[in-house]
């Protein structure tokens, strides 16, 4: 870059900073619109990511309870456990004896001790708690695995995957809606910011007309606006990120108070890459809006 180019860019930066200062209100409005749009987008993305993370945890918890026929000896039951453990779909198989089942129930359900005592320790069947591979945790896979268990002699099976799948489907719908909503938010924000920048351009049209008359190139006219747009986008993004952080912290504290749980650690904030992407969208938004508004002026100006 030669000295003349350097001086040219110095003039551009100086003009941009002066324009930002002279049109402080409009620039604040533009940054505010970008911040509000990104905040909306950020809240939506954060909610989806956190819901996804919760569903992931639930997916890991999906297992099948297979109850043994009471006529089978414990030795046979253990042999069946080993057979099932050897199946490729299984990750973990836990044997729950009749005694363990009895003790579990008495601990969990109060007031049924007398009834259970009457029935005796063998009242509940022994069972296997089978955890499947993640890939085998879809409803189709689980259904086929359950069928193979029935063939091996298990009459009673208990597995609740459908509602998790329905929730997953609901999340996918939310994701699709999110893409649509995100697109709409960005288009509306571009429209709003473009119109705000257009007001800045309108405020300075007299100066730009004079600049053109004394031989200013198109880049001399447009570049200060693009720089302004980038600054607006950057300020808007940082404001949105700060807003997201405040919302995240407030929500975490409120949830902690409400459930007396250590939610702070469980509620995920956007990671660095996601934050950088959000900032890039903000900067891009400011840049595109400034480009549209300033080139619109150039097309009209002789």
Q: Residues in the site for other proteins, rule: CB under 8 A?
A: 3-5, 7-8, 10-11, 15, 22, 206-207, 209-218, 220, 298, 302
Asked whether the beta carbons of 38 and 237 are under 8 A apart, the reply is yes
Looking at the Cβ atoms of 278 and 293, the one nearer to other proteins is 293
For other proteins, the closer CB: 18 or 150: 18
* 169 CB neighbour count, 10 Å cutoff: 10
* Of 12 and 240, CB closest to other proteins: 12
SS3 assignment, position 194: helix
Distances (CA, A) of 255 to 53, 167, 232, 266: 17, 21, 34, 11
| Least separation in angstroms between CB 201 and other proteins | 15
Taking alpha carbons only, the member of 30, 66, 9 closest to residue 203 is: 30
Run of H or E including 291: helix 272-300
Distance of CA 49 to the CA centre of its chain: 2
Residue 218 CB, nearest approach to other proteins (Å)? 7
Q: Which of 67, 72, 81, 65 is nearest to 126 (CA)?
A: 67
CB 224 within 8 A of CB 21: no
Q: How far is the CB of 4 from other proteins (least distance, A)?
A: 4
Instruction: Indicate the residue among 176 and 298 with the shorter CB distance to other proteins.
Output: 298
Taking the least distance from each CB to other proteins, the nearer of 149 and 223 is 223
Of 176 and 213, which CB lies nearer to other proteins in the complex structure? 213
Q: Which is nearer to other proteins, 212 or 266 (CB)?
A: 212
| Least distance CB 292 / other proteins (angstroms) | 18
CB of 221 to other proteins, least distance (A): 9
Distance between alpha carbon 242 and the CA centroid of its chain, in Å?
Answer: 17
Q: At its nearest, how many Å lie between other proteins and the CB of residue 287? A: 22
Contacts 24+ apart (CB under 8 A), 83-90: 83/152, 84/128, 84/130, 84/149, 84/152, 87/145, 87/148, 88/133, 89/132, 89/133, 89/136, 89/141, 89/145, 90/130, 90/131, 90/132, 90/133
Residue 251 CB, nearest distance to other proteins (Å)?
Answer: 46
């Amino acid at each position: 870059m030669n000295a003349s180019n350097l001086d040219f860019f110095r003039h551009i930066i100086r003009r941009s900073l002066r324009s930002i200062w002279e049109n402080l209100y409009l620039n604040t409005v533009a940054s505010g619109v970008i911040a509000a749009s990104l905040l909306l987008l950020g809240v939506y993305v954060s909610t989806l990511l956190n819901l996804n993370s919760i569903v992931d945890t639930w997916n890991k918890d999906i297992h099948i309870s297979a109850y043994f026929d009471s006529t089978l000896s414990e030795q046979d039951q253990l042999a069946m456990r080993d057979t099932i453990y050897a199946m490729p779909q299984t990750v973990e198989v836990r044997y729950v004896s009749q005694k363990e089942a009895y003790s579990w129930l008495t601990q969990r359900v109060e007031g049924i001790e007398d009834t259970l005592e009457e029935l005796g320790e063998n009242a509940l069947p022994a069972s296997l708690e089978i955890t499947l591979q993640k890939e085998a945790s879809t409803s189709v896979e689980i259904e086929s695995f359950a069928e193979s268990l029935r063939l091996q002699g298990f009459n009673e099976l208990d597995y609740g995957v459908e509602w998790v799948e329905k929730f997953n489907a609901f999340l996918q719908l939310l994701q699709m809606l999110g893409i649509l909503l995100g697109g709409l938010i960005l288009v509306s924000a571009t429209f709003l910011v473009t119109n705000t920048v257009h007001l800045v351009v309108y405020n300075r049209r007299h100066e730009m007309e004079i600049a053109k008359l004394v031989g200013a190139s198109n880049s001399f006219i447009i570049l200060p606006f693009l720089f302004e747009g980038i600054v607006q986008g950057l300020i808007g993004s940082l404001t949105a990120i700060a807003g997201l952080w405040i919302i995240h912290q407030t929500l975490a504290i409120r949830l902690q108070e409400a459930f007396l749980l250590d939610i702070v650690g469980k509620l995920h904030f956007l990671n660095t890459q996601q934050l950088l992407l959000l900032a890039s969208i903000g900067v891009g938004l400011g840049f595109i809006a400034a480009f549209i508004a300033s080139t619109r002026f150039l097309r009209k100006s002789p």
